[in-house]
Structure 1
Amino acid sequence: MNHFILISWLTIISSSHIYAQTENIVRTEGITSGLHRDNIGKIFFTSKHIPLSHLKKGDFANTYKLTNKSDLYFVAFMGNSITNYLHRIAPALPADSLVKIGNYQFAFFVDGKLIYTTNLYPGAPYAKIQDSATVINKPLINNDNGYGLWSESSWNRFMHYGGDSALTEGSHTLKMEIRPYLKMDEVKPGELIAAGELNLVVERKPVIDISKIRLGRVKAYNGFEVANDDFDKNRIKELKGNIAEGVFKKINSIIVIKNGKLLIEEYFNGETRNTLHNPRSVGKSFASTITGIAIHEKYLQSEDQKLAEFYNLHSYKNYSLQKENETLEDLLTMSAVFDGNDADGKSPGNEENMYPTGDWVKFTLDLPIKKDTINKGWHYFTAGVVLLGDILNKRVPGGLEKYANEKLFKPLGITNYKWQYTPQKVPNTAGGIQMNALDFAKYGQLYKNEGKWNGEQLIPKEWVNKTFTKHRHISGRNNEYYGYLFWNKTFLVKNKTFEAFYCAGNGGNHIVIFKDQPLVIVVTASAYGQSYAHPQVNRIITEYILPAVVR
């Protein structure tokens, strides 16, 4: 009898092993350690990143204090890779197809109640990792880095869609579940991969004693006298306190110019008035500025010039007559017919596909057209601004870098700045030009002055007016528009509206020029890749700066 049972048991084990082999579609890294083997299907939480090779059971938190400065990591021990889990949902699909339409699904619960479920975008992590990884060791909150990893984005979405209001001050239970999902005709989740709970003590509402906070001493700067206007200093102290306590994260500077004079100057997180800051896509607006100057000086005819005047489009892939008829204005208003959309990870012209290539201009001109954009609908297209920079570099005397210095930066008294460059060593108009916050403020004030600085008309007034025109409605946003590489929106403060045109860049970087107020506001920040970056700057402006300086 015992012999029969043993043979039967070995047969079952062998059959299961064979089934597991045929079930998997890709090879994984397997079970990585004894800790992994003992905890398959479980999620644990830690207060810092600990490499898997150093991770011990004693590192896992049972109770954790969650403040605005807390870091929170999770470790999920899985029995297989996400690609193989997706294969179980759709066995007929190959691995490279599965990772294009599926990924992890994270579900967040607070006190036993499901608050938010997020389906992570396909492609993050990379397909190679999706095929092999059987452990996830990633941050949900990381206040030190500036990358905004996919795992952090999932937490930020949870907080935005209910987590922030659910995690009130006091004790809570946080639960996290991970499943695979595929999106074909509809989202189809798979089996539970891993789950875990953590007791949280939430302390996210700091007590701020403004009597202990001092405002920065404002000093004159080349181009700016010190303003004598009164403002609500206590409200700005409260803002400083919230930045110090981590309510607003990764803010580096706040500059307020009123009536052309320096009113508020504050720095955070180690930056000073001499720090060169990378504002990312704020730099796109400079391409618009130089275009206007070049047209005025007849190096370009007008923004109506067509691409066919600058390139032999027959020598590039996906030739079409629509490409021939694209204009500089189409590039300036983010409405070109190219199949490029930075908001769509699957778009062939997404900027992330451009950067690894050796020739960004060729990358752009090789793109196919997208039929639904022929009607000039707005879509954020960084590669188009690179194309504009290349055209400027070829047409202005001495090249774009020299021309911008002579016609813009030198007259503004901006001497300490750094361009980034394309692979062809052309200044990168996609963004990234580095200056200090006060020099960014000069640029904003130049537009507030309708293009004039120290009595000299640097930018034609007509071009400033064209730039500050609502050329395109921004799809998916209410009452927001796009000019010539400048954004437009209206801030609302206690039922009063404040319209502004502004430059914006990843991380929460803004140069805001108000239409009906004598104000320019600069915020530099380094919350790169973080979904909270721009919303928190909107709060800073509407809840603190505007109420403090507008009477």
Structure 2
Amino acid sequence: MNTVLLDELVASVGKQNLRVLNVMVRQNGELIARHDFEEEQPHLLYSASKTFTSMAVGIAVHEGYFRLNDLVVDFFPDYLHTCTGDTEFLKRITIHDLLCMAAGHAECPVNKADWRSGQKWDIAELFFEEPVVFEPGTHFTYDNSATYMLSRIISSATGTNLDDYLYEKIFHPLDIPKPDWDRCPLGFPQGFSGLHLTAEYLSRFGQLLLNKGAWNGQQLIPSGYVEQATSVQIKTDDFTPDFATADYHQGYGYQLWMNSYPNSYRLDGLYGQYVIVLPEKNAVVTYVSDEPDNMTGIIELTWNTLVDKL
């Protein structure tokens, strides 16, 4: 272990009063540095969960369950009656469009859901009820319902829920015990959030992506899919929430963000859950955090205190 690599980062966390819980650095396939501000334990990954859903899709495509250009409506024939208005765009949404947040909604319908305990609402219904105002594939809208639909498609096509499918295909080969995954009111894994992992297990998944889907001589995820997922599939220039820094304007892949640092990408979850993959450094930097006010400051720790040391 490199005992001084993270000294500047740790000092910067303290100076900025950032609520980082755990940070880990892998390089050349090895865990080379870590700092635990608090004891490591399984933590809700929020939207970093999305990337796991994406990789399940890539595996299922490789196994012949469906194709990226398959139409979403074909998996949900009973839902079209919930649609209001013109359905021309809706009928053209593909799995590719879900993966790159380009279904055509102007806003995320999950934000309108009643999250009070005991409510039996259906996110798929919300997806189909939301007007599709942009031609699918042309406009980026950060849309949790799109990722949820991928979870439902995995269940429908494979006969196995997302969490069980990923345990067989990824978690078990990575020696990760089956993790908890929060479910929607209908009992399906949320897909867009809800996965709980420790920082170390999360960093293994980052290493798997850096390896283009290979682990201990096994190709767990098709390398071609990982390359697609970690490349720009759609521009994000007009993604303009208050927190959006340059790291949110470099484009989006398949449930992954591109970084301002050249040729790098990340998993990205609320309150500072990040896996920053740096292929040119053959490195993966993983953060588990609980930072309510300045989560993008955690991404910037990498650029300001660490990347030049790797």
Deviation digits for residues 23-64 of structure 1, max 9, x if unmatched?
xxxxxxxxxxxxxxxxxxxxxxxxxxxxxxxxxxxxxxxxxx
Q: 2:204 matched to which residue of 1?
A: 442
Shift of 1:239: 2.5
Structure 2 residue 162 is the aligned partner of structure 1 residue 400: yes
Q: 1:304 aligns with which of 69, 73, 97?
A: 69
Q: 2:19 matched to which residue of 1?
A: 250
Shift of 1:354: 2.5
Q: Which amino acid aligns with 2:104?
A: V
Deviation digits for residues 345-396 of structure 1, max 9, x if unmatched?
xxxx2x32125361111111111122x4556111111111111111111111
1:146-157 superposed matches below 5 A = none
Q: 1:10 matched to which residue of 2?
A: none
Structure 2 residue 272 is the aligned partner of structure 1 residue 508: yes
Q: 1:489 matched to which residue of 2?
A: 259
The answer as to whether partners of 2:258 and 2:266 remain within 8 angstroms in 1 is yes
The answer as to whether partners of 1:236 and 1:548 remain within 8 angstroms in 2 is no
Gaps of 5+ in 2: 240-245
1:525–1:355 Cα change, 3 Å: farther
Q: Partner of 1:511: helix, strand, or coil?
A: strand
Is the strand fraction higher in 1 or 2? 1
Q: 1:238 matched to which residue of 2?
A: 8
Shift of 1:438: 0.7
1:242–1:468 Cα change, 3 Å: closer
1:360-399 superposed matches below 5 A = 360-370=123-133, 372=134, 374=136, 376-399=138-161
Say which structure, 1 or 2, has more relative contact order (CA 8 Å, 6+ apart).
2
Q: 1:546 matched to which residue of 2?
A: 307
1:37-52 superposed matches below 5 A = none
The answer as to whether partners of 2:154 and 2:160 remain within 8 angstroms in 1 is no
Shift of 1:246: 5.0
Q: Distance in 2 between matches of 1:359 and 1:424?
A: 7
Q: 1:295 aligns with which of 49, 61, 65?
A: 61
1:374–1:425 Cα change, 3 Å: closer
Q: Distance in 1 between matches of 2:166 and 2:178?
A: 13
Q: 1:537 matched to which residue of 2?
A: 298
Q: Which amino acid aligns with 2:172?
A: K
Q: Distance in 2 between matches of 1:458 and 1:468?
A: 16
Shift of 1:547: 2.5
Q: Partner of 1:482: helix, strand, or coil?
A: coil
Q: 1:267 aligns with which of 33, 36, 44?
A: 36
Structure with greater Cα Rg: 1
Structure 2 residue 67 is the aligned partner of structure 1 residue 286: no
The answer as to whether partners of 2:99 and 2:255 remain within 8 angstroms in 1 is yes
Gaps of 5+ in 1: 1-217, 219-229, 342-348, 492-497
Q: 1:327 matched to which residue of 2?
A: 94
Q: Partner of 2:191: helix, strand, or coil?
A: coil
Q: 2:122 matched to which residue of 1?
A: 359
Q: Distance in 2 between matches of 1:359 and 1:284?
A: 19
How many corresponding residue pairs? 296
Q: Partner of 2:16: helix, strand, or coil?
A: coil
Taking structure 2 as the reference length, the TM-score comes to 0.89
The answer as to whether partners of 1:416 and 1:435 remain within 8 angstroms in 2 is no
- Runs of 4+ aligned residues of structure 1 deviating over 3 Å after TM superposition are 372-375, 476-479
Q: Which amino acid aligns with 1:252?
A: L
Q: Distance in 2 between matches of 1:310 and 1:256?
A: 40
Q: Which amino acid aligns with 1:429?
A: G
Q: 2:235 aligns with which of 439, 459, 473?
A: 473
Please give the root-mean-square deviation of Cα atoms over the aligned residues, in Å: 1.9
Q: Distance in 2 between matches of 1:490 and 1:504?
A: 14
Shift of 1:476: 3.4
1:257–1:236 Cα change, 3 Å: same
The answer as to whether partners of 2:26 and 2:32 remain within 8 angstroms in 1 is yes
Taking structure 1 as the reference length, the TM-score comes to 0.51
The answer as to whether partners of 1:291 and 1:392 remain within 8 angstroms in 2 is yes
Q: Distance in 1 between matches of 2:23 and 2:153?
A: 34
Q: Which amino acid aligns with 1:388?
A: L
Q: Partner of 1:438: helix, strand, or coil?
A: helix
Shift of 1:279: 1.7
The answer as to whether partners of 1:417 and 1:433 remain within 8 angstroms in 2 is yes
Q: 1:318 matched to which residue of 2?
A: 84
The answer as to whether partners of 1:282 and 1:432 remain within 8 angstroms in 2 is no
Q: Distance in 1 between matches of 2:114 and 2:47?
A: 14
Shift of 1:416: 5.0
The answer as to whether partners of 2:183 and 2:194 remain within 8 angstroms in 1 is no
